[in-house]
Amino acid sequence: MIEGHIDLTKFEPFHKNIEYEHMRWKDKQQGFNFAVPELEAAYNIDSLQVGVSRNVPDDYLELFKSIFNISSFSYAVQKMFPGNILPYHSDKYGFFLSQHPGLKIENIIRYIVFLEDWQPGHISEIDGDSHTKWKRGDWISWRGATPHLAANLGFEDRYTLQITGIVK
C-alpha cells in the first residue's frame, strides 16, 4: 500500500451536492474477481450497492494531475452507504481497459482519495494492511490486481474519489 495526503482545505467539498447513480457491485464487465473465489457464495452482493458519480470539479482534477505521476486517468466519486461492503477482491478495470486496449493490468494504478474524515465503521484494506482513521485528503494506492476491500459498517455515508491511471 502506498499512501499520502493532499491538502484539500482550499477546495470546497462537492461530493454531497452532486447526483449519484446507484450501481450494484456485481457488474459483470466492470466488476471484480473475488480474492478467494470459492467464498463468493458466502456474499449476497446482489443486494449491495454504491452511489457513483463522475461529476468532479475541474480544480480537483487539475490538482490530482499535478500530484499523481500518471499518464492518463479516469475517475469516479463513490458514496458507500452504511451496511455495504466490497469483499476482498481484485479489480478487473473493465471501464479503463476498454479505453486503453492492450494495456496490461500490472501497468494500472488506482488511488483512493478520502473526501471526508474517517468515521467509526469505515474500513479500507489493501493486501492485508488495514487503513482507518484517515483525514480528508488522505489517499491510498495500489497497482494492478492487488487484493483489497472496502466497508461501511458505520452510520454515515463513506465518500471517496477513485482515480485510475497508467503508471509512467
Quick one: which of 123, 90, 125 has its CA closest to 108?
90
In the structure grid, which three cell numbers stand for residue 146, read together? Answer: 492487488
How far, in Å, CA of 145 to CA of 60, rounded? 26
The per-residue pLDDT for 29 is 46
Higher-scoring residue by pLDDT: 134, 23: 134
What are the tens digits of pLDDT across the range 97-112?
Answer: 989 999 999 999 999 9
Provide, rounded to the nearest whole percent, the portion of the chain with pLDDT above 70: 85
91 in Cβ contact with 162 (< 8 Å) = no
How far, in Å, CA of 138 to CA of 145, rounded? 22
The per-residue pLDDT for 23 is 74
Q: Where are the domains of the chain?
A: 2-59+73-80+92-151
For residue 9, pLDDT beyond 80: yes
85 in Cβ contact with 148 (< 8 Å) = no
Report the chain's terminal Cα–Cα distance, integer Å: 18
How far, in Å, CA of 159 to CA of 168, rounded? 27
